Amino acid sequence: MVRIPVEIYYFAGGLRPMLSVVLRLDNPNIFLPIKAIIDTGSPTTMIGMSDMKRMRLSKIKLNQINGKRGEVNIGGGKVQTIKLEGMEISIGNYAKLKLDVQFPIRGEDANQPSLLGVDFLEKIKAKFYFNPSKKESYIEIGDSQ
């Protein structure tokens, strides 16, 4: 069994479990290290607007991306997204997986953080532990990984 430590930060009025990951995709060429909130209330993994801006993809490049476009409700607002299929997500030397990831095209909240949703936890077959009073958090992955 592998236990991956998760950092805890004070963000948006409360303690949040955050995991450092690296996102990679060949077309378009993306390499993006991020800190994402592990959000068990979100069914999907989504890149936040501030991380999206760090990628410096032009509007022309965004319009050329193939992927399913749609709308996601986040924190009471709506965000237009495109789903990039098969994005590689690396968690240090612990795990590497491919996952469909939502990228914002337009949205109401430019401060929306990146989120690792339930789809992420399901894909790596992980148990998630978060104890805010002890400021302790980790992900446990079974030996089959």
Q: How confident is the model at residue 134 (pLDDT cuts 50, 70, 90)?
A: very high
Which structure tokens are listed for 99?
């996952």
How far is the C-alpha of 124 from the C-alpha of 11, rounded, in Å?
Answer: 25
Q: How confident is the model at residue 1 (pLDDT cuts 50, 70, 90)?
A: confident
Q: Which CATH number do you get for residue 29?
A: 2.40.70.10
Residue that has been written with the tokens 């339930």 in this structure? 118
Among 41, 32, 40, 38, which residue's Cα sits nearest to residue 103?
32
pLDDT at 62: 66
Statement: residue 9 has pLDDT above 90: yes
How far is the C-alpha of 95 from the C-alpha of 66, rounded, in Å?
Answer: 26
Residues 25-56 have pLDDT tens digits of 887 778 889 999 999 988 899 998 888 878 77
Domain carrying residue 110: 2-141
Q: Which amino acid appears at position 50 of this protein?
A: S
Which three-class secondary structure state does DSSP give residue 117? coil
Which three-class secondary structure state does DSSP give residue 144? coil
Residues 108-133 have pLDDT tens digits of 556 778 999 999 999 999 999 999 99
Number of domains in the chain: 1
How far is the C-alpha of 136 from the C-alpha of 95, rounded, in Å?
Answer: 20
pLDDT at 109: 56
Which structure tokens are listed for 103?
């990228």
Residues 52-99 have pLDDT tens digits of 878 776 666 666 677 788 888 777 777 888 888 889 999 999 999 999
